[in-house]
Structure 1
């Protein structure tokens, strides 16, 4: 599958999970990226992202999509006990943070959604868009990594 098409497919898949109410932002990103990678982690890995929506358990702090994105990056660049930290882990996580901050002027959930009534469909649509953006950004970065890209074959249905 062509890179641009695959990235857009990742965006749509993550957005769809959130839009249909199957997952919140952080869960949708983790689940979608795990699928993109060919499910190297059991489906239960998504549970690790369940505490992060709405700025960490509705606290309104770090955007759940960004948190989920950082977890998804950890699935690729993270380490196991006894391993050294991979050189890419911190820089790519910071790049994700900066990308979202540049787009939305913040990575804080309450700031990003301050112009919306929380229960409104407009706020949900805004958060769905951010979720898709994070998932697509991660997919694009993974496809640019010569060590990771050959392992990516597309998304499951």
Structure 2
């Protein structure tokens, strides 16, 4: 598969998990990136993202998709006890934050969704789109920096 095909497939997979109700935003991103990476973490790792939907436990703060993206970045650039911080971690995390802030003028769930009735299909579609964009953004960055070998990807 080509890079663009992989990124589109990642976006579609993440959106599908959310759309079908299998996962919420943050969970969809984490699960999809773990799959993209070839399951280096147990599937139960997705549970780590379960507190983040709807802006951190429905508080309306940081967008759950962004939270999931940050967790996904940590899956690749994070460290274990006693290790030095990976020099890519903070710049990559900041870049994801800035990408969403530039795109949606905020990273706050209640701001990003303020023009929608929360229980509406339109709001759900809006959030599905953001979820897919974050997953695609993370996949693109991981491919660009060589953290993922596109010749070994099985999606």
Q: Same fold (TM over 0.5)?
A: yes
| Cα distance in 2 for residues equivalent to 1:137 and 1:70 | 11
Kindly report the root-mean-square deviation, in angstroms, between the aligned alpha carbons of the 2 structures. 1.0
Alpha-carbon distance, 1:154 to partner: 2.7
* Correspondence for 1:124: 124
Structure 2: 5+ residue stretches without partners: none
* Correspondence for 2:134: 134
TM-score (norm 1): 0.96
* Correspondence for 1:72: 72
Alpha-carbon distance, 1:126 to partner: 0.1
Retained in 2: the 8 A contact 1:38–1:152?
no
* Correspondence for 2:35: 35
| Cα distance in 2 for residues equivalent to 1:76 and 1:12 | 21
* Correspondence for 1:51: 51
Q: Which runs of 4+ in 1 moved over 6 A?
A: none
* Correspondence for 1:154: 153
Retained in 1: the 8 A contact 2:37–2:148?
no
The number of equivalent residue pairs is: 155
Retained in 2: the 8 A contact 1:142–1:149?
yes
- Structure 2 residue matching 1:61: 3-state secondary structure: coil
Alpha-carbon distance, 1:145 to partner: 1.0
Alpha-carbon distance, 1:151 to partner: 7.0
| Cα distance in 1 for residues equivalent to 2:109 and 2:38 | 30
* Residues 151 and 44 of structure 1: CA distance in aligned 2, closer, same or farther (over 3 Å): farther
Alpha-carbon distance, 1:152 to partner: 6.8
TM-score (norm 2): 0.98
- Structure 1 residue matching 2:114: 3-state secondary structure: coil
Alpha-carbon distance, 1:14 to partner: 0.1
CA deviations over 1:66-103 (Å, ceiling 9, x no partner): 00000000000000000000000000000000000010
Structure 1: 5+ residue stretches without partners: none
